[in-house]
Structures are given as structure tokens and as C-alpha cells.
Amino acid sequence: MDTSTTKDIVIDAWKAFATRDPARIEAVFTEDAQWHAPPGNATALALGHTEHVLDRNTIVRFLSRELATLFVADVKSTPRCLVAEGPIAVLETRFQGTLANGRPYDNEYCFVIEVKDGRIRRMREYMDTQRGFRCIFGERNEPRVLAA
């Protein structure tokens, strides 16, 4: 697979995520897709998740329904850099939005994305977990489920 194709797949995936359309989101992932997030991250805790490796069904539910219950307004992911070599892409992005509790969220993310057969097979997410906690739970960092 050439680099431009890998980049195009990632760009198209981010466009699909923004639609919150389950069918479009599901179509960008392989059946055995996995999303590896930092264990115990604030977004997962606020949504009541205990797992840090998501399968395709969980990814689709998270992006199409759950994310909108936590981030309720002004949601945007602004890519800063996308590089790829063969089937691997690295995307740096800034994610912002207004949380259900009224607080602003603003954090930097880096995703290492593996593409197979034209779809995303694996995503490894890296972020500033402490900043995420402060944005979601405040300075006291008391994790609690914020969205249903």
C-alpha cells in the first residue's frame, strides 16, 4: 500500500467520525479492528468504560452515540500533522469541545494507525491524560460518570 492511500484512508475516517453515522464509521474499520486508548483515561471513566482496548462494535457505539453525550457542543478535531509510511500513519490532532458539565475540553492527541485492505485495523491513542482529567473532572480529579 502506498503512503498517499494510507493518508487518504485516515482523512476519510476522520470525516466519517464527524458524521456520527454508525454505518459510515463501521465501514472504515476492519472486522477485527482495535482501538488502544490509555487505560483509565478520563473520557473512558466519564462514560463508564473500564476497557482500554475497544473492538469494532464498541468503537462504532463510542463514536456514533457515546461521545455526543459527553461532548455536547463546539466539538472539533483539528489535524496538525499526518505522516505515513506504507500501512502506518501517525496523526497529531487537537480535540476541543464543550462537555456535558459545561467545562471546555482542549487536549492534544497522537494516533498511530495501522491500515489493512483499505480500512483501519488498529489505532493506538496517545494523549495528555492529566490534562484530560483536569478538563473533565476539574482540579480535584474525582472521576465519576458524567454521561449516560
pLDDT of residue 147: 58
List, run by run, the mean pLDDT of 10-residue segments along the chain (148 residues). 84 96 98 96 92 95 96 95 97 97 96 97 97 89 57
Domains of the chain and CATH, by start = 3-137 (3.10.450.50)
pLDDT at 139: 80
> Which pLDDT belongs to residue 1?
59
pLDDT at 66: 96
- Which residues make Cβ contacts (< 8 Å) with residue 69, sequence separation at least 6? 47, 100, 147, 148
Neighbours of 85 (CB within 10 A): 10
The span from the CA of 105 to the CA of 135, in Å, is 5
Strand partners, 113: 89, 123
What pLDDT is attached to residue 145? 58
Which grid cell sits at 125? 491513542
Q: pTM of this prediction?
A: 0.90
SS (H, E, C) the chain: CCHHHHHHHHHHHHHHHHHCCHHHHHHCEEEEEEEECCCCCHHHHHCCCCCCEEEHHHHHHHHHHHHHHHEEEEEEEEEEEEEEECCEEEEEEEEEEEECCCCEEEEEEEEEEEEECCEEEEEEEEECHHHHHHHHHCCCCCCCCCCC
